[in-house]
Amino acid sequence: MAFEYAPAPESRSVVDIAPSYGLFIDGEFRPAEDGKVFKTVSPSSEEVLSEVAQAGQSDVDAAVRAARKAFEKWSALPGSERAKYLFRIARIIQERSRELAVLESLDNGKPIRESRDADLPLVAAHFFYYAGWADKLGHAGFGADPKPLGVAGQVIPWNFPLLMLAWKIAPALACGNTVVLKPAETTPLSALFFADICRQAGLPKGVVNILTGDGSTGAALVAHPDVNKVAFTGSTEVGKAIARTVAGTGKKLTLELGGKAANIVFEDAPIDQAVEGIVNGIFFNQGHVCCAGSRLLVQESVQDELLEALKRRMSTLRVGDPLDKNTDIGAINSAEQLARIKSLADSGEAEGAQRWAPACELPSTGYWFAPTLFTGVSQAHRIAREEIFGPVLSVLTFRTPAEAVEKANNTPYGLSAGIWTEKGSRILWMADKLRAGVVWANTFNKFDPTSPFGGYKESGFGREGGRHGLEAYLNV
């Protein structure tokens, strides 16, 4: 029998969203020079949350100018002083974490359980970790006195808005750079709240500048001649365009792009644990995860048993109000993304794969997509090759470890992979052969500020996290 759950919504009263926000330049909020604005909506209700400024070229110029001006003093501060600013920021984030979690769930659509228990703790931890590096850079293996690069132009995606901000800003500031960051068009609010945290922390003006806007703002930022470093997380298509823009300029570039990770289950794997890992791998954050385990490779001998258990588990997933503490799967981030997921799922059916989703009632307003599984998927299908960035799992099978490796690596991407088996030597053999930057064995979608993250091949280059993550922001 199915359990009924009473609604258990997290209170919205903890967060106070202003009706409009300007751009955060040189320590102050100001409107875009040409006065342009756009609305940000809650994807779960389509309610307008706020109106934010659309930064144009002259705003980008002003922000880069402010960052350049601030760079001189910021980079000259003793590392121990920069560290203390970052420690302050980490602590204030912890203090305000419930507010930020609710805000993130409202603006992004992700379940409060994830924003509260995954995003926000990782955000604070990331600042805390890199704070400690600021006065220890000479011990990081990049020479005795490595130097910052200057002004970093950073463009981040909508799937983990505040976490991606932390991944970008924390190491940049620790190394002595100043930043101009553009949050994603559909999720600008947490970055604007972060600007307020910078104010509370007493961060010198101009060290962090936040420009809201669409793709054109990001393009202007990465092309700006006075930017020394470009960091981008997002789609492989845009990443390639940025790489072309940066070519020949000497700007340092790191890219964290798409993925089509294989999650590989061997016949000796503990099925229940594997099922939890598969569900976490593809349905965490509505599948809006670049390292999502979107291709399930299951050994043929356990295919039936595994799929039955997986379907049973998927039937218990609760889709709905992101602020409800019982929600497993929240809203798709935007109408545009929903259309893309629908179109790719339709292509799966059209190309001959079998589609399955549990019976599940979706809210009438907002953007929703039920957790979906495709079986009978061949490697040629679009749903096996293209990043869907949604709660859609493509199931393929294999017989031998060698075949699993070959299928797993048969993609231009190389961000992550998963392995489920009880045999230790097989884990290490597989981990060695998989061409991916992060390999989760008997677990999935784990992150930590000390642990380098980033891709092989067309999933980008450079690493975020750990000692490795410093390199992107040092002149080495």
How many distinct helices (H) and strands (E) make up the chain? 15, 18
244 touching another protein, by CB under 8 A: yes
442 touching another protein, by CB under 8 A: yes
* Cβ proximity of 37 and 49 under 8 Å: no
Contact segment (CB under 8 A) with another protein among 156-164, 299-307, 378-386, 447-455 equals: 447-455
State the catalytic residue, choosing from 10, 104, 114, 256.
256
Contact segment (CB under 8 A) with another protein among 144-152, 260-268, 336-344, 450-458 equals: 450-458
Type of residue at 142: F
Phi, psi (5° rounding) for residue 285? 60, 35
Show the tokens assigned to 448: 């930590």
Residue number, 367 or 461, with CB nearest to another protein: 461
Distance CA 241, CA 179 (A): 21
Contact segment (CB under 8 A) with another protein among 189-197, 211-219, 394-402, 446-454 equals: 446-454
Which string of b and e fits 412-428 if b means at least 16 CB within 10 Å? ebbbbbbbbbeeeebbe
Residue number, 205 or 240, with CB nearest to another protein: 240
Distance CA 185, CA 236 (A): 18
Least distance between another protein and beta carbon 70 (Å): 28
Least distance between another protein and beta carbon 105 (Å): 23
Residue number, 354 or 450, with CB nearest to another protein: 450
Length of the chain: 476
Show the tokens assigned to 16: 């106070």
Q: How many CB atoms lie within 10 A of CB 285?
A: 25
Known catalytic residue at 256: yes
Contact segment (CB under 8 A) with another protein among 84-92, 156-164, 190-198, 444-452 equals: 444-452
Q: Which of 7, 9, 138, 141 binds another protein (CB under 8 A)?
A: 141
Tell which positions 396-435 bind another protein, by CB under 8 A: 412, 427, 431
Residue number, 54 or 236, with CB nearest to another protein: 236
Q: Which of 10, 107, 114, 458 binds another protein (CB under 8 A)?
A: 458
Residue number, 16 or 432, with CB nearest to another protein: 432
Tell which positions 108-137 bind another protein, by CB under 8 A: 125
Q: 286 vs 1, 244, 263, CA distance in Å?
A: 26, 31, 17
69 touching another protein, by CB under 8 A: no
Closest CA to 439 of 422, 450, 427, 421: 427
240 touching another protein, by CB under 8 A: yes
278 touching another protein, by CB under 8 A: no
* Cβ proximity of 310 and 276 under 8 Å: no
How big is the site for another protein, counted in residues (CB under 8 A)?
41
* Cβ proximity of 25 and 209 under 8 Å: yes
Helix (H) / strand (E) element for 114: namely helix 112-114
Residue number, 313 or 467, with CB nearest to another protein: 467
467 touching another protein, by CB under 8 A: yes
* Cβ proximity of 9 and 15 under 8 Å: no
Show the tokens assigned to 309: 């258990």
Residue number, 309 or 431, with CB nearest to another protein: 431
Q: How many CB atoms lie within 10 A of CB 343?
A: 11
Which residues are near another protein by CB under 8 A? 125, 141, 236, 239-241, 243-244, 247-248, 250, 255, 257, 412, 427, 431, 436-443, 446, 448, 450-454, 456-458, 460-461, 463, 466-468, 476
Positions marked active-site: 256
